[in-house]
A = this chain, B = another copy of it.
Amino acid sequence: MEQTTLQINGMTCGHCKAAVDGALRNLQGVQNVQVDVAKGVAEVTYNNSEVTTKNMKEAVEEQGYDVR
């Protein structure tokens, strides 16, 4: 298992948190997600044989947020 921290712009509320959390957890290979709206980050634990950080970035961007 690997860990990465995504820097996410635009999350403002609990709905945003749920949208980002759900999009990431929906990816095959993502084991755990911790979203912090105030800090604008998501900490993801994942299996790098199944999912890439590019996959994660795309999933979050599909929800309408920018990933740095």
- Chain A contact residues, CB within 8 Å of chain B: 10, 12-16, 19, 64
Contact = CB atoms under 8 A, between A and B. Distances in A.
What 5 pairs between A and B have smallest CB-CB spacing?
Answer: A15-B15, A12-B12, A12-B13, A13-B13, A13-B16
A64 B16 contact: no
A14 to B, nearest CB: 7
A14 B44 CA distance: 25
A49 to B, nearest CB: 33
Contacts of A16: 13, 15
Contact of A19 (B10, B12, B15, B64): B15
A19 B19 CA distance: 13
